[in-house]
Structure 1
Amino acid sequence: MSSNIVWHEASITKEERRSKNKHQSFILWFTGLSASGKSSVANAFARQLFESGNQAFVLDGDNVRHGLNKDLGFDEVGRKENIRRIGEVAKLFVESGQIVLTAFISPYREDREVVRKLVADGEFIEVYVKCSVETCEQRDPKGLYKKARNAEIPNFTGISAPYEEPENPEITLNTEQYSIEECAQQLTQILTDKGYI
């Protein structure tokens, strides 16, 4: 980093933004295999938050790779940089007083921990969207598992690349047992009980 870069303090604090928004700001980090339901749950819950008057935004893995991260591959190095960038963007949303929901496979524990350390205690909530690779492969809405099995997609998480399950996630949602709507309701209950919303 250049020694000529100096941090410029904002004229509006995170606390002021939270006060105006009438809610906390934090990251809900949805992690899980492809087709586990991360984006579906995140978007369903974002809709509930929005309709309740909360400022919320979803950062979706595929969508971000259309723009900000379109230069990155899917090897380990590319995946790590993908998560590092998203962590920095998510931190900006927290500073702006918003609830940011990130839906990324984010297969490595170490990378998720790097993002956790970017923000203050209590501002990173890991949400493990639990679903077996067998069920994800049966769903396969984008046809990616089929391509991975045919060796058309290298480094595919759960098939030819590892996925490290969270060891102590704040929240676990089982999308094999519960519908998207039920998972969103579970999130509402948990976050209300904890005083986040």
Structure 2
Amino acid sequence: MVNDFSSCYSVSRQVRAQQKNQRPMCIWLTGLSGSGKSTLSTQLEQVLHARGLHTMVLDGDIVRQGLCRDLGMSDADRSENIRRVAEVARLMVEAGLIVIVALISPFRKDRQAARELFAEGEFLEVFVDAPLETCSARDPKGLYAKVRSGQIKNFTGVDSPYEAPEHPDVHIRSAENDVVACVQSILGRMGLRDVQ
């Protein structure tokens, strides 16, 4: 359920959004490690910034170094990681920003709980879909190699489950489309015209 913070602030979210001349929202990218979430979030932010829009990216690797550095990789810790990031994203939307979250976020219930923090139309779930074989071949952080050698256990998509979105707002097949086409898909769902 969405909490109404209007009585907590002397400057309303509507005023903040008007000042920035944009519609605040949370764009939540979910998918396996190596599916392209971070690449896509970076490119999307650059495109939005070029339009003069105010953005912030919350990337899983970065939040794990600070906000969530006390958390492990158990199911409970993963859920808490999502809860914390969702709460921060909500505050940033309250501040009038377009927030791009890039997290594996493997469990549907956690993504749904995140969605419920936002008003209707403020949350877009983007499924960055790539086959496990593609993600493993990309292996930008060398994680799949560590899984294969036994150095990492409980790895999402291998020996820990990933619950793919059943009805994402945007479904991106990153193995079949380049990053420009993927960004355009998100922009279209945001109601923004193509940015060249």
Q: Which amino acid aligns with 1:59?
A: L
Provide the residue aligned with 1:60 in structure 2: 59
Count of residues in Structure 1 that have an aligned counterpart in Structure 2: 188
Q: Matched residues in 2 for 1:101 and 1:115: separation? A: 13
Q: Matched residues in 1 for 2:87 and 2:180: separation? A: 29
Report 1:83-98 matches (<5 A): 83-98=82-97
Provide the residue aligned with 1:118 in structure 2: 117
Q: Which amino acid aligns with 1:47?
A: Q
Q: Matched residues in 2 for 1:128 and 1:11: separation? A: 36
* Superposition CA RMSD, Å: 1.4
Q: Structure 1 stretches (4+) deviating beyond 3 angstroms?
A: none
Provide the residue aligned with 1:48 in structure 2: 47
Q: Matched residues in 2 for 1:73 and 1:39: separation? A: 21
Provide the residue aligned with 1:17 in structure 2: 16
Report how far residue 50 of structure 1 moved: 0.6
Q: Matched residues in 2 for 1:191 and 1:95: separation? A: 18
Provide the residue aligned with 2:166 in structure 1: 167
Kept in 2, the 8 Å contact 1:29–1:126? The answer is yes
Query: Gaps spanning 5+ residues in structure 1: where?
Result: 1-6
Provide the residue aligned with 1:105 in structure 2: 104
Q: Matched residues in 2 for 1:51 and 1:116: separation? A: 27
Provide the residue aligned with 2:138 in structure 1: 139
Report how far residue 32 of structure 1 moved: 0.1
Q: Please say if 1:176 is aligned against 2:184.
A: no
Provide the residue aligned with 1:37 in structure 2: 36
Provide the residue aligned with 2:153 in structure 1: 154
Q: Structure 1-normalised TM-score?
A: 0.92
Q: Matched residues in 2 for 1:185 and 1:114: separation? A: 27
